[in-house]
Each structure stands twice: as C-alpha cells, then as structure tokens.
C-alpha cells in the first residue's frame, strides 16, 4: 500500500492536464495577437474546422479559447451562428476611449508618486527600443513596446482595483490602438508624447503626466474614429 501511494504522488506532476491547459493558454495568446494585429478583422467569422487545421489542434482547446476571448470582449459567440471577431460601434469606441483616458490619467498621477528608479529605467529602455522599431518600420514591435510602457505606468500606480479595470478595458481596445499607428505621422506624434511622459515621471509631476496621458488617449480615440469612418484609408502603405 505504501509503495502505491508513493508512486501516485510522484506521478502527479506529469499528468497530461497540465499540457492541455498550457495549450489552451497558447491558443488564447495566438488568437488574441491575430485579432490585435488585424489578421482577423472585426466581423470576420471564425471557422472552427479551418482554425483547428491551421493551428494543428482539436476543437476542445479552441472552444475553451473562444470562451476566454468572448469574456474579454474580443469575439462574439452567437447560438447556431458560431464565433466572430467583435465589432465595436462608434458610440462604444468613443465611450471606451473616454473611460480609458481617465484610467490612464489616474495611473499616471499615482505612478509619478510611487514609481521606483528601477521601474523608470525600464520604461526608458522600452522607449529606446520603441524608437529602434520606428526606425526599422517595425509596427508590431513598435506597438508591443508602446503598450508595455503604458502597462508599466499602470503597474507602477500600485492600485489593484485600478489595475484590474485597466486590463479589462485595454484588452477591448488593443486592436483599435494598433490600427491607429498605421500612419507615420501618428507614430512620430506618439513618440513625442512618450518623451513628455518620461520627463514628467523623472520630475514626479503627476498632474502633468495625467494631463499628457489623457490627451494622448483622446488623440488615439480621434484617430480610431477616423479609421472607423473610413476603413479603406486605414491600411498601411508600402
């Protein structure tokens, strides 16, 4: 009896369920990235059979991933119609960006007081990496570092309730924020605003940083609404 109990205890860490959960998380991350970068555009129907063949997975982890993405507001699941990439109305876009501008402004006010020198150095490093991506015309790399800067500022605010709300709202806006950077002049304007953010952080000027972030997000809103109204002009030029 003792030998059987010991064998059961040793085998537990190797149970297949761990791998299945890891696969489910991987599928969520992969699909989220495709939605954010516009590979799967708003309104597109998600064909389960095609996605399973493309990703090399069964329907079970795919459907689990769909549930997570639906909870995040990135896809919609309709009875007898399947899943499709969520499409936001102009009113929803306007309201969500207005809320996000307030959340980011409050994050900035708190972060300016609470950020450590190490956290500030990390944000500066991300900014320089973002500049390198801009020089190389690397939009996905630029966007990833841009978002990381905003994320680090929110984390530095050290407010759990604010963090939770920020993450939930930002997930719904990430694809729209990505699309707003398609034009070079918007890249350069955003970079200038990020340099102002770093200066405000260095001076621990929370009010100024909050104002910069609020205006920064409202400018994103205006850019997104312009693209939303004229989708044909939203594609990047080569």
Q: Are 227 and 118 in contact (CB under 8 A)?
A: no
Query: Is residue 76 located within the same domain as residue 95?
Result: no
Edge-to-edge strand ranges of the sheet holding 45-46: 45-46, 82-85, 75-78
| The two three-digit tokens of residue 66, written as one number | 């769909």
Among residues 85, 108, 140, which one ends one of the domains? Answer: 85
49 vs 65: CA distance, rounded Å: 14
202 vs 197: CA distance, rounded Å: 9
Q: From residue 153, how far is each of 147, 150, 157, 216, 220 by CA, in Å?
A: 10, 5, 7, 14, 18
Query: Is residue 96 located within the same domain as residue 184?
Result: yes
Query: Is residue 77 located within the same domain as residue 178?
Result: no
Among residues 85, 102, 133, which one ends one of the domains? Answer: 85
115 vs 156: CA distance, rounded Å: 5
Among residues 15, 50, 85, which one ends one of the domains? Answer: 85
Range of the structural domain that residue 21 is part of: 2-85
CATH code at position 147: 1.20.120.530
Instruction: Note the helical H segments in 13-78.
Output: 17-36, 48-55, 59-71
Query: Is residue 110 located within the same domain as residue 141?
Result: yes
Nearest to 90 by CA among 182, 217, 222, 218: 222
The domain tally of the chain equals 2
Query: What is the pLDDT tens value at each position of the chain, 238 positions in all?
Result: 444 444 444 444 444 443 445 787 899 999 999 998 889 999 999 999 999 999 999 999 999 999 999 999 999 999 888 999 999 999 999 999 999 999 999 999 999 999 999 999 999 999 999 999 989 989 889 989 999 999 999 999 999 999 999 999 999 998 888 877 666 677 788 889 999 999 999 999 999 999 999 999 999 999 889 887 764 444 433 3
Query: Is residue 102 located within the same domain as residue 220?
Result: yes
């Amino acid at each position: 009896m003792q030998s059987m109990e010991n064998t059961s205890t040793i085998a537990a860490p190797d149970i297949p369920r761990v791998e299945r959960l890891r696969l489910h998380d991987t599928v969520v991350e992969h699909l989220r990235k495709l939605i954010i970068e516009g590979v799967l555009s708003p309104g597109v129907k998600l064909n389960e059979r095609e996605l399973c063949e493309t990703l090399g997975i069964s329907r079970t982890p795919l459907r689990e991933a769909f549930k997570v993405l639906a909870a995040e507001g990135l896809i919609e699941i309709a009875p007898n119609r399947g899943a499709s990439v969520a499409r936001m109305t102009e009113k929803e876009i306007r309201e969500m960006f207005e809320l996000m501008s307030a959340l980011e402004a409050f994050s900035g006010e708190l972060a300016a007081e609470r950020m450590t020198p190490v956290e500030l150095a990390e944000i500066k490093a991300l900014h320089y990496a973002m500049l390198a991506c801009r020089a190389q015309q690397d939009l996905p790399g630029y966007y990833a570092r841009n978002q990381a800067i905003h994320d680090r500022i929110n984390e530095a605010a050290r407010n759990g309730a604010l963090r939770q709300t920020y993450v939930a709202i930002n997930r719904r806006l990430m694809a729209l924020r990505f699309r707003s950077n398609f034009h070079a002049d918007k890249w350069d304007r955003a970079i200038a605003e990020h340099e102002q953010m770093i200066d405000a952080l260095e001076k621990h000027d929370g009010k100024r940083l909050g104002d910069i972030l609020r205006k920064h997000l409202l400018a994103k809103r205006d850019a997104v609404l312009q693209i939303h109204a004229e989708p044909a002009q939203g594609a990047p030029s080569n």
